């Protein structure tokens, strides 16, 4: 990473899904010795604490096709401002989720920071799911299934126009890697959006190296750099059991590290977030520890 100073921001949001526990993800990742391990790579690491989040018990669920929309919007707005401020100070934001709806705030803050200098960012979305539902297509009403759609301007206006503009990212600079579970009504969004989706079949047939090379070209073309949004459910549940929505057939341990190592080699990452770590269903904090390992690989840790 070009920046030598990392700003860690916790976003313990679990309003975007039904399964509880991902609100403890930031703590689990911190417990896995995140700060000290990043410092061992030579970075200056500053932990800015957590964004305030409403609890489901104290908030009405709201519209059935976009549950907790006002509360999620408020949290994402606070996160966007923290991310934008960190980037303006020359720090690389490292956001710890929380469910994947936090990405709406992370991407908004980064996009506005670069927009001020008339630049744009790319977005590398590594996930088992497409996250491109809208209130019209969602089978659950859970907003953690909508954040990528919101980032490219599809979805509830309070989220798509967070900070006053949309889209946050040009779909032609978005690559979705590792997808293997897509809702039926969501598929047209993926096919017609301009986002380049690489499924697990693509990885099986072509190999991860070829897929990542193309994905990195897409998110780098004409951009000031790219943001990495890593959902830990990309990794197979045998290696990452503690995630919000596990899906069999994911990336192996080494494939996940290779993806991060190639991101590091590209030298154009401007921020990274890790989401959907759920210690409630984890085994001895395995998933959070793996999340730290993967962040380390993305930030420069090498075998030799």
Element (H, E) at 295: helix 286-298
How many domains is the chain built from? 1
Residue 275 has pLDDT above 80, yes or no: yes
- The CATH number covering residue 229 comes to 3.40.800.10
| Torsion sign (Cα): 187, 278, 200, 1 | positive
**Res 185: pLDDT:** 97
The mean per-residue pLDDT over the stretch 161-175 comes to: 98
For 111, counting Cβ atoms within 10 Å of its Cβ (0-12 exposed, 13-18 middle, 19+ buried), the class is: buried
Question: According to the model, what pLDDT value does residue 19 have?
Answer: 85
Of 129, 189, 227, 257, which residue is the catalytic one?
129
Q: Is the pLDDT of residue 194 over 70?
A: yes
5 labelled catalytic: no
Q: Is residue 303 part of a domain?
A: no
Residue 170 has pLDDT above 70, yes or no: yes
Torsion angle, CA of 247/95/105/116, rounded to 10 degrees? -130
Query: Is residue 304, in this structure, part of any structural domain at all?
Result: no
* pLDDT attached to residue 265: 97
* Domain carrying residue 51: 5-298
Tell me: the pLDDT tens digits for 10-24? 999 999 998 899 999
Options 14, 99, 231, 236, the catalytic residue: 231
For 210-228, the pLDDT digits (tens) are: 999 999 999 999 999 999 9
pLDDT confidence of 1, banded at 50, 70, 90? low
- Provide the pLDDT confidence category of residue 104 given band limits of 50, 70 and 90: very high
Q: pLDDT at position 256, please?
A: 98
pLDDT for residue 59: 86
Q: Are 169 and 152 in contact (CB under 8 A)?
A: yes
276 an active-site residue?
yes
Question: Exactly one of 65, 144, 189, 257 is catalytic; which is it?
Answer: 144
For this structure, is 144 an active site residue?
Answer: yes
pLDDT for residue 52: 95
137-160 pLDDT, tens digit each: 999 999 999 999 999 999 999 999
Q: Of 14, 84, 99, 100, which one is the catalytic site residue?
A: 100
Q: What is the mean pLDDT of residues 91-120?
A: 98
Catalytic position from the list 71, 233, 273, 282: 233
Q: Report d(CA 170, CA 166) in Å as an integer.
A: 9
Check residue 288 and give its pLDDT: 98
User: Residue 48: its pLDDT value, please?
Assistant: 98
Catalytic residue (one of 71, 99, 127, 236): 127
Is residue 100 annotated as a catalytic residue, yes or no? yes
Query: For the segment 31-83, what is each residue's pLDDT rounded down to a tens digit?
Result: 999 999 999 999 999 999 999 999 888 888 998 999 999 999 999 999 999 99
- The question of whether 183 is a catalytic residue gets the answer no
pLDDT of 3 over the 90 cut: no
Beta bridge partners of 230: 126, 274
Residue 58: its pLDDT value, please? Answer: 87
289 found inside a domain: yes
Identify whether 166 is part of a domain. yes
Strand runs labelled E in 217-289 = 226-231, 269-275
- C-alpha 304/C-alpha 300 separation (Å) is 11
In-domain check, residue 277: yes
Active site residue 255: no
pTM over 0.85: yes
In a domain, 144, yes or no: yes
């Amino acid at each position: 990473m070009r920046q030598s100073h990392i700003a860690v921001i916790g976003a313990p949001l679990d309003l975007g899904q039904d399964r509880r526990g991902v609100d403890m993800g930031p703590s689990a990742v911190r417990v896995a010795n995140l700060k000290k391990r990043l410092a061992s790579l030579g970075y200056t690491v500053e932990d800015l604490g957590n964004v305030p989040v409403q609890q489901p018990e104290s908030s009405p669920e709201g519209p059935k096709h976009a549950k907790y929309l006002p509360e999620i919007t408020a949290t994402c707005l606070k996160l966007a401002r923290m991310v934008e401020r960190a980037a303006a100070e020359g720090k690389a934001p490292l956001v710890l989720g929380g469910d994947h709806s936090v990405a709406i705030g992370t991407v908004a803050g980064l996009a506005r920071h670069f927009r001020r200098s008339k630049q744009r960012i790319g977005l590398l979305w590594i996930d088992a799911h497409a996250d491109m539902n809208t209130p019209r297509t969602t089978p659950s009403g859970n907003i953690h299934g909508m954040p990528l759609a919101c980032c490219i301007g599809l979805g509830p206006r309070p989220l798509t126009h967070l900070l006053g503009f949309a889209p946050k990212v040009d779909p032609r600079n978005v690559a979705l890697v590792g997808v293997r579970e897509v809702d039926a009504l969501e598929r047209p969004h993926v096919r017609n959006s301009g986002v380049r989706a690489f499924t697990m079949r693509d990885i099986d047939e072509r190999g991860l190296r070829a897929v990542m090379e193309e994905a990195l070209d897409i998110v780098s073309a004409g951009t000031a750099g790219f943001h990495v949004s890593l959902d830990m459910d990309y990794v197979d549940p045998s290696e990452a059991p503690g995630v919000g929505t596990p899906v069999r057939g994911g990336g192996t341990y080494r494939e996940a590290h290779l993806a991060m190592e190639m991101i590091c080699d590209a030298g154009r990452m401007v921020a990274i977030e890790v989401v959907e770590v759920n210690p409630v269903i984890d085994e001895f904090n395995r998933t959070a520890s793996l999340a730290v390992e993967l962040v380390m690989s993305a930030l420069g840790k090498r075998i030799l």
